[in-house]
Structure 1
């Protein structure tokens, strides 16, 4: 039992007689309550930690000499509480484990001077709901009181500022793919755990990495289409989680059907082209971006759920994929190619003169003319009629 005393001890033997049965705990004699001729209950007095002999007597003078040992433990060794940290707003559910706790006892707990609600009591443990702090953040003494006299004041609880979630980055992900998000907020504790609330009754605990007091890294598992809310708990329990209801959307992946234009010419100093990307499942997000091959992404302009405009930059000729992202993490790429043609160079024109009425067929020779479809004479354009041997 506890060194503070108050533990009810049932002694089993034979020949117990009411009403004068007593127990001796070392040199301390305590009155007993005879249950049957083979069982008597005595209350252990306070004593220093250690082992003592427990004997019984019918008259308070003649005691047994059986040498049965009773062990006293200090309160600090016998009582534990988990968790021992929670928000100053209260609500944390704590479990107290200690010797002498029984299901039929009335246990109460005080955090500082504020009484806690008792949720349940069973053999060896009790569950309490932590009250809100009367003085904000800081450590308070926790006092456990048992109606039969056992008292523990060796425990403490740390109140910390209540955490808040402000935003997620990104706030969208693709169905079937996990997404690592940065949770931005205030007063995050090193023990903080992210949890996602979806359609299931219980929240899903997420793999969480503490970054700073204002930033956590959390991994949302692959999900079906829909919206979940992300909260942060100090101890991985709903009882002390935030309630900011910041949403994360699992959406169908984007599909790219066409790119227009899909062919441009590389010209020094003119390496930006606005491209219309058409498809389906496009979303208007802050992270909307386009990427040419593996180049640095550039911001995209949302037009409709089936069209976006991208200002693509190229610094060389070649064939590239065009990727689109709506969360800065997952990219959708088209199987169609975006071709940047080498810069064209005209070496000769024959004939070099013709009628003002037009209609003259002109042959243009040079390098890099393959794939060209138009020529320009001054401010007027003409279509290419024939391509042969690299000439137009």
Structure 2
């Protein structure tokens, strides 16, 4: 290792000389170049979490070994061109540090510039970053460089509003009203100051206030979840799109600017107000009300079999058949109106069906949830009479008449009808009556 001597600009050969005049030619060319001149450093501020800066000047040449210095911290320099060197640092304190530069293999020299790290405000993130044009949205900002002893303001475009420091790197402020919708820059500055040319901005989006006009269904059953469709206008496809059931906020699914869906939480009987929000904080105030009805239960269903031509009366016993509710019977996907006879009983007529089959049977509130357990209703062909014996009786009656039919049939209040006279029927076996 040797130190280059003072020399004029130009290329010279580099050789090794030993005692007694021995010479070893290396065949290498060594260049003496003019000392670099630093003209500027940009930017002059940096984040305490790290960043980049550029040294501009003249006399930079392509080579490894350049170093930038922040105070006593050596950083690798990358020569971009003969007039520019880029440097990066990973972290720093809250102070101003002298910037130095070192030639490959040389000692650092002062550039005459410094960089202030962590002394300017850097807005790193915010939530939410959108709200209605009438303002009032609480925005939580993560800001580097906060001094807890100072006061700060938020700038939405050119409108200044007070900011509240919540602790380490956290500031809260409310969006001011805006004349119209659109995007504005969002900055944080010391109170009474304006942002500098190198400040860090976020963008805040103003939108038209959402409106809820109709909900479907208008009722739900206590103890169950139901998907509620909300119609209106101004719905935005955002990650914070929400519905609020009373005080409970749930995520919503965007279908269009005029329709969203959300799944209700499990709630007690009563009435609950539903409001919607594009950002989970600014909710509508349109007063849509969902009625939460008491739970109803199905205990028994009879009969569970009927003709494919339909018209079989099906009696249902249970509880919670409220007078103000409208019920339907569901035979698979087919629904028929149910008639309420008491809080514990309803009945309905089976619909026509195209083929012999077995379908799940349930009782449902109209356009709402269903109950019924594991009941299966069988659609069967008309029963055909195979044999009747005897076929005569004295006028006084009293003859036992046996009837054979062609299928296993579940009888509901069975009777024999002779002309216009009906008499009770006793089932003797599964296929003889």
Tell me the TM-score normalised to structure 2 length.
0.59
Relative CO higher for 1 or 2, CA cutoff 8 Å, sep ≥ 6? Answer: 1
- For residue 288 of structure 2, the aligned residue among 233, 246, 265 is 246
Deviations 1:317-368 (A, max 9, x none): 5776531123756432156665656422124444444455554544434423
Match of 2:231 in 1: 184
CA 67–333 in structure 1, closer or farther in 2 if over 3 Å, else same: same
Q: C-alpha displacement at 1:122, in angstroms?
A: 5.5
Within a 5 Å distance, the mapping from 1:77-88 to structure 2 comes to 80-88=125-133
Match of 1:21 in 2: none
Q: Which ranges of structure 1 fall in alignment gaps of 5 or more residues?
A: 6-49, 56-64
1:170–1:287 contact (8 Å) kept in structure 2: no
Match of 1:310 in 2: 348
Moved more, 205-214 or 281-290: 281-290
How many aligned residue pairs are there? 329
- For residue 158 of structure 1, the aligned residue among 205, 216, 228 is 205
Within a 5 Å distance, the mapping from 1:207-356 to structure 2 comes to 207-223=251-267, 228-237=272-281, 240-248=282-290, 251-259=293-301, 261-262=302-303, 265-266=306-307, 270-283=309-322, 288-292=327-331, 294-302=332-340, 304-313=342-351, 315=353, 322-326=361-365, 330-333=369-372, 342-355=381-394
Within a 5 Å distance, the mapping from 1:34-183 to structure 2 comes to 69-71=114-116, 80-98=125-143, 101-112=146-157, 114-120=159-165, 124-135=169-180, 137-142=181-186, 144-147=188-191, 149-151=193-195, 154-183=201-230
CA 166–311 in structure 1, closer or farther in 2 if over 3 Å, else same: farther
Distance 2:44 2:208 in 1: 34
Match of 1:379 in 2: 420
SS at match of 1:116: strand
Distance 2:44 2:126 in 1: 18
CA 309–164 in structure 1, closer or farther in 2 if over 3 Å, else same: farther
Q: C-alpha displacement at 1:379, in angstroms?
A: 2.5
Q: C-alpha displacement at 1:280, in angstroms?
A: 1.0
Q: C-alpha displacement at 1:163, in angstroms?
A: 1.4
Larger Rg: 2
Distance 2:427 2:293 in 1: 48
RMSD over aligned CA atoms reads: 4.5
1:288–1:328 contact (8 Å) kept in structure 2: no
Q: Which ranges of structure 2 fall in alignment gaps of 5 or more residues?
A: 1-41, 46-86, 89-95, 100-109
CA 228–3 in structure 1, closer or farther in 2 if over 3 Å, else same: farther
CA 361–99 in structure 1, closer or farther in 2 if over 3 Å, else same: closer
CA 252–286 in structure 1, closer or farther in 2 if over 3 Å, else same: closer
Match of 2:73 in 1: none
